Amino acid sequence: MKRLIQLLVILLVALPWSAWPSTPNESRGSLVRVRASIQPYDQFRPWQKKSPFGLSGTGVVLSRGRVLVTASLVANRTEVGLEKPGSAEKCAAEVEAIDYEANLALLKPTDDQFLKGFSGVSLGTSLKAGDTAEVWQLERNGEMLRNQAEILSAGVGRYPSDEAGFLVYGVRVSLPKRDDSYTLPLMRNGQLSGMLMAYDRDSQEGTAIPVPMIEHFLKDSSDGKYEGFPTLGVSWSPLRDPNLREEVKAPSDGGILLMRVNPIGTAGRAGLKEGDVLLTVDGFRLDEDGNYRDPLYGPTSIGNLVRTRPYVGAIAKFRISRNGDEMELTGNYDRRARDEVAIPTLQFDLAPRYLILGGLVFQELSGAYLQEWGEKWPERAPQRLVQLFSFQQEMKLDPKKKIVFLSQVLPSATTAGYQHLSGLVLSGCNGTTVGSLEELASIADSTTSGDLVFEFMDDPKKLVLDAAEVKSGGDKLGKAYGIPALRKL
């Protein structure tokens, strides 16, 4: 009985804090519902799209009439609409800037009067572990629910569409189930502190994109030319092991060991090399585990130092030890190591390219194609494709050349005997190397009679089609399989 009373007391006290209906004024000024119609491309049938579905989230109205959401809310969209809380007033919106790595998108209403009367929110300061904030949710009637949240951690962690990691908040918050919760703002003192991007109802923990990421994204996009977050283009190892330190002649403490340096990346062009010990970046000293001391967050991974903080084009200063000799190297932050690759990691909003010749379906390899094989794609997808994608840097694939591969064969009289083939990487056609679908198309188009000889990396090394038959049979093939176009380049 006594326990029950205690419990009641706690509930009575806690409730007003955790879910305090705000004044209608506040929500009118800061939040809108965002409804997105999503229809992803079908990588296995690149001429068609998959079933559409809808997502709805909560967007944050910024002071200059733009709405901030997570990028995953509007990935592969066919349409995006805004809706005022408390009324059914709607307006279409377009995506003004989007960054899938940083998981942020900026929406612009097509009617510039739509957000008139919204005061918008401004960006707050960054939070650290132990700080408290609020997650705002919209009730159906437009009222706002404010749920108290605790920042558990602020450090570098994984984002849904990024491999290396950015600064992320770990958040504990108890969220009631509501519509429009795909994206929710994290607020403190009426200012935006972050965007909740993932939440687990069982553990009541989630992750939020912190304000420095948002700030970077907004500043970058403000000039209309979005450049994105820079990257060093290195892989590294901690240098805690005293034996390893001795072997690489590292100084008495600090620093990390560079295991691979992409020559076209920020570090590579500044002159850093494999085997160097990286001691400081822009004056920040790195410890043996690759952490620097952040004035706000304390020890934080180098990822934040080189990816969130600087902008593309900014000067990058490195202090390294090479064979025991210390030296300073200078370069410019860029993201070429990420962008200039033979096989792109993720592709959203882009229709997969393909070329169908007589029933042989050719595509360009991408991370999106491999992920179509499901969560276990490294085991399930054709192993040659997995190998090229996963080890493209060490295999030194030319970033200017795409990997063209035979993804499947549509059985027809022309492709008789080939129907079981798939996942074969094309090396050339009629004796010419092929580095893109366009190149393959131009060889095929210019061959009007005789043979089309396709050469592959793996067995069978060669396939032959009759060029005239490929040309004449195209319409029939398209009709038989209901494929509207035999190519999309």
List of residues contacting another protein (CB under 8 A): 235, 237, 240-244, 246-247, 257, 259-260, 378-379, 383, 386-387, 390-391, 394, 414-418, 451, 453, 458-466, 469
For 448, phi then psi, to 5°, come to -95, -20
CA distance from start to end of the chain: 73
**What 3-state DSSP class applies to 441?**
helix
How far does CA 476 lie from the centroid of its chain?
Answer: 40
d(CA 374, CA 387): 17
Smallest separation, CB 135 to another protein (Å):
36
Closest CB to another protein among residues 128, 384: 384
- Count other Cβ atoms within 10 Å, centred on residue 251: 13
Closest CB to another protein among residues 301, 414: 414
Smallest separation, CB 387 to another protein (Å):
5
| 8 A C-beta contact, residue 44 and residue 372 | yes
Smallest separation, CB 382 to another protein (Å):
11
Smallest separation, CB 253 to another protein (Å):
15
The residues that bridge with 173 in the sheet, in sequence order, are 149
How deeply is 283 buried, as exposed, middle or buried, from its count of CB atoms within 10 A (0-12, 13-18, 19+)?
exposed
User: Residue 5: CA atoms inside 13 Å, Cβ hemisphere, count?
Assistant: 2
d(CA 18, CA 6): 18
Show Cβ contacts of residue 24 under 8 Å, excluding neighbours closer than 6 positions: 86, 142, 143
Closest CB to another protein among residues 95, 244: 244
Smallest separation, CB 240 to another protein (Å):
6
Closest CB to another protein among residues 212, 254: 254
Closest CB to another protein among residues 182, 418: 418
Closest CB to another protein among residues 79, 466: 466
Smallest separation, CB 461 to another protein (Å):
6
Smallest separation, CB 49 to another protein (Å):
30
Strands 291-294 and 284-285: unpaired
Closest CB to another protein among residues 140, 380: 380
Smallest separation, CB 57 to another protein (Å):
34
- Count other Cβ atoms within 10 Å, centred on residue 190: 12
Closest CB to another protein among residues 90, 384: 384
d(CA 2, CA 141): 38
Of 299, 360, 285, 313, which is closest to residue 219 (Cα–Cα)? 313
Of 144, 145, 135, 306, which is closest to residue 208 (Cα–Cα)? 135
The full length of the chain comes to 489
